[in-house]
Structure 1
Amino acid sequence: MKDKGNVLAKLAGSKLNICDTTLRDGEQAAGIVFANLEKVRIAKLLDEIGVQQLEVGIPAMGGDEKTAIKRIAHLGLNASILGWNRANKEDIAHSIDCDVDSVAISMSASDIHIEHKLMKDRQWVLDKIVESVEYAKAHGMYISVNGEDMSRADPEFMVQFCQTAKEAGADRVRYCDTLGIMTPSGTYAAIKNIVDKVGIPVEMHTHNDFGMATANAISGVQAGATFLSTTVMGIGERTGNSPLEEVVMAAKHLLSIDTGIETKRFREVTEYVARASGREIPAWKPIVGSNCFAHEAGIHTDGVMKFLSNYEPYSPEEVGMSRKIIVGKHSGRSTIKQTLLAKGIEIDDATATAVLEIVRATSVSLKRSLSENELVYIYQDYKDGVKDTLPNNRSTTHE
């Protein structure tokens, strides 16, 4: 039998714990299949950066899924290892067989799901929660009871749902905004209601159907939630989940809550998960996208060169990224001067203005930004009096 005290000890070290579900909900995204080797590697990476709990899959699926889960459970990771289950003894028995130390027990909370998916009633739901929680508790498991579609549940029943889970022996409840329909203000009110009336730890599990997964997760924390459910890069069902890298950095910089996660490895971990899932990392992706610290606009570039915090909310090194100054249509004279100076070429303002005119015209003509070497070539051609460097649609703008 497992000793739940070990899990509680692991989760006691942080004010805000991360339960990452990349290996469960992340893999449920249409078209994503992790090889067992990849599942193990992802689990190791997440453990190395300090994620406190890993939801590693659905043991009741059997086959390769169960094999991978059992292997991860035997790696000796620092993180707690959690298996996802429906609210029945058979599912939980599969989790116990995999030697995980924690179980998530999922049950529909909204009348829409209860009536049209389960085709049962509210009392049946509460009875199944009690039955499954007591069974898991008898085997020494740390228990999270997940309220599927809780964001559409009747508020009074939502409290009853959570109270039933607590009294049966659950250690926390997972508030699931299954369809991503919540707003930050609505999320805050819902979570505060549970925290105040039930007094059980709450985990935020938010989806991104309206682009609010991170905002809703953070609002939940502001209301008293102490766990965040995440996936790397936000991969997951439909439009995805709250991204690990976003909620950790938002908690740190906007709420002054340090989760203890080693953020310097975010880009590294994201690159591995992206490859394993067959997904690209969008250039504009918050925290880990290649454009996060890329500056082209003249005013912004000049500001960053003078003082980094003028246009950067945190340093690129903090998340394993690097700063890039882009030469292109929107560049200003200071970018031209500083970029060439880094190449050992010092120019005056008049030369910078002339070269900038060529740079902008060339960028428009090629429909892209220019490399530093291309800037050097443009400068050399300008200095040598080469006229055909200028495209026909030459710009006349100087600033």
Structure 2
Amino acid sequence: MKPWNVEICDVTLRDGEQTPGVSFTCTEKMEIASLLDETGVEVIEAGFPVVSDNEFRCVQQICRMGLDSRICCLARAVPGDIDAAIECEVDLVSIFIATSDLHMRIKYRCSPDEMLERALGMVDYAHDHGIAVRFAAEDASRTDHTFLQRMYAAGAEHGAEYSGFADTLGFMTPVEMIHFMEHTGSRIPNKLAVHCHNDLGCATANTITAAEYGAFQLHTTVNGIGERTGNARLEEVLALLRLKGGVDRYDLTRLPALSKKVEECSGIVMMDTKPVVGKNAFSHESGIHIAAMIEDPEAYEYLRPETVGRERQYILGKHTGRKAIEHVIASKGCSLTPGQMHWLLCQVKKVSEGKCRITDEVLMDLLREAHKQEQV
């Protein structure tokens, strides 16, 4: 299979920081940027420089870190925003305008044609100063496709390297994304960038669908943080690119450390059940599952834990079977008689049903008690 032609633009430091209550220090932003760079992310969106003097300094410092990743920032289609991007020395500036009829009506006091003309002037301005441009449509998924095509064609004519498509409200489904890619995305003259929000839980699915149908730049955030319910998750997108798209150039073993760093800096704790980086992602309790996995892990693992820097865990509990407990006990260098093993299995189920997790400490206590049972 020919690998999909894609790159990642991670927007954790910009859209991720727009998560309610989240604010990164410059040091935290630089640490996260370093980890993204080590993972192999091609583009890092470092921030929105005109937000504040501190934001400007953070973007500028990241630009001066000497990373392999290209550094991007966000800008409205106004001269002051473009000047800030130029002064920060970014590699790429994302110039956005709202394009849906609703956004046009409530945000701008001019016609769509007038707004487009003004924005193209800013594309020229940035391009003339040696900065690559992503010409992006906010609320693109609710925008008339004819207008989008005209906007993207004009942006490309003015030197924009990318056309940006944002599902700002996160209301698209993968089927709707296919329709867009087939009827509009495929006609874009430059590289298409997709930016998906997760309001209905489809951000990662929409992003991967767009990639399969030809989108080039995929926007993500670490742990899926971002406005409201967040964006497409970097860890999920990279795993899917490896497994479904044949893209193997990213160092997925960096993902646990990257996820943990963003968790610490954002204060947003990941659920145990989150794919790839969640505590339970590679934990197994069911006796039927574990018995099969002892023979061949592929029986119940499509993504191998070592691929993403994780380890498999067999968890003892209510659903544990004899083979599972024998395997866990043997891995600890212990042995029990059949009678002792039966007693231990019964106790594990009893303790677990009392809502007590079978930690290593609990298990060792039970093992000591098991050895006291009569030899059978």
Q: Check if 1:194 corresponds to 2:184.
A: yes
Q: Check if 1:47 corresponds to 2:37.
A: yes
Give distance in 2, aligned partners of 1:306 and 1:121. Answer: 66
Alpha carbons 1:108, 1:125 under 8 Å: kept: no
The one-letter code of the counterpart of 2:295 is: K
Using the TM superposition, give the Cα deviation of residue 351 of structure 1 relative to its aligned residue in structure 2, in angstroms: 4.2
Alpha carbons 2:39, 2:254 under 8 Å: kept: yes
Using the TM superposition, give the Cα deviation of residue 314 of structure 1 relative to its aligned residue in structure 2, in angstroms: 2.0
Using the TM superposition, give the Cα deviation of residue 56 of structure 1 relative to its aligned residue in structure 2, in angstroms: 0.4
Alpha carbons 1:129, 1:164 under 8 Å: kept: no
SS of the residue 2:135 aligns to: strand
Gap change, CA 1:120 and 1:302, over 3 Å in 2: farther
Give distance in 2, aligned partners of 1:50 and 1:227. Answer: 14
| Structure 2 equivalent of residue 378 of structure 1 | 366
Using the TM superposition, give the Cα deviation of residue 206 of structure 1 relative to its aligned residue in structure 2, in angstroms: 0.3
Aligned equivalent of 1:262, options 246, 251, 257: 251
Give distance in 2, aligned partners of 1:332 and 1:90. Answer: 66
Quote the sequence identity (%): 35
Give distance in 2, aligned partners of 1:96 and 1:110. Answer: 28
Unaligned runs of 5+ in 1: 1-12, 387-399
| Structure 1 equivalent of residue 173 of structure 2 | 183
| Structure 2 equivalent of residue 355 of structure 1 | 344
- Written as runs of structure 1 = structure 2, the 5 A alignment for 1:1-399 is 15-258=5-248, 260-347=249-336, 351-365=340-354, 367-385=355-373
SS of the residue 1:27 aligns to: helix
Give distance in 1, aligned partners of 2:76 and 2:152. Answer: 16
Alpha carbons 1:184, 1:215 under 8 Å: kept: yes
Give distance in 2, aligned partners of 1:375 and 1:77. Answer: 47
Q: Which moved more, 1:243-252 or 1:338-347?
A: 338-347
TM-score for both structures, normalised by structure 2: 0.95
Using the TM superposition, give the Cα deviation of residue 72 of structure 1 relative to its aligned residue in structure 2, in angstroms: 0.9
Give distance in 2, aligned partners of 1:350 and 1:256. Answer: 50
Alpha carbons 2:4, 2:211 under 8 Å: kept: no
Using the TM superposition, give the Cα deviation of residue 252 of structure 1 relative to its aligned residue in structure 2, in angstroms: 1.2
The Cα offsets for residues 120-151 of structure 1, whole Å up to 9 and x where unpaired, read as 32112311221111111111111101110000
Give distance in 2, aligned partners of 1:57 and 1:278. Answer: 19
The CA RMSD measured in Å over matched residues stands at 1.7
Using the TM superposition, give the Cα deviation of residue 195 of structure 1 relative to its aligned residue in structure 2, in angstroms: 3.5
Task: Give the total of aligned pairs.
Answer: 372
SS of the residue 2:94 aligns to: strand
Give distance in 2, aligned partners of 1:317 and 1:157. Answer: 46
| Structure 2 equivalent of residue 396 of structure 1 | none
Alpha carbons 1:189, 1:223 under 8 Å: kept: no
The Cα offsets for residues 173-195 of structure 1, whole Å up to 9 and x where unpaired, read as 11100000001011112123233
Alpha carbons 1:327, 1:372 under 8 Å: kept: no
Give distance in 2, aligned partners of 1:128 and 1:224. Answer: 29
Using the TM superposition, give the Cα deviation of residue 348 of structure 1 relative to its aligned residue in structure 2, in angstroms: 5.3
Give distance in 2, aligned partners of 1:329 and 1:173. Answer: 53
Unaligned runs of 5+ in 2: none
Alpha carbons 1:106, 1:147 under 8 Å: kept: yes
Using the TM superposition, give the Cα deviation of residue 217 of structure 1 relative to its aligned residue in structure 2, in angstroms: 0.2
The one-letter code of the counterpart of 2:167 is: D
Give distance in 2, aligned partners of 1:56 and 1:382. Answer: 57
TM-score for both structures, normalised by structure 1: 0.89
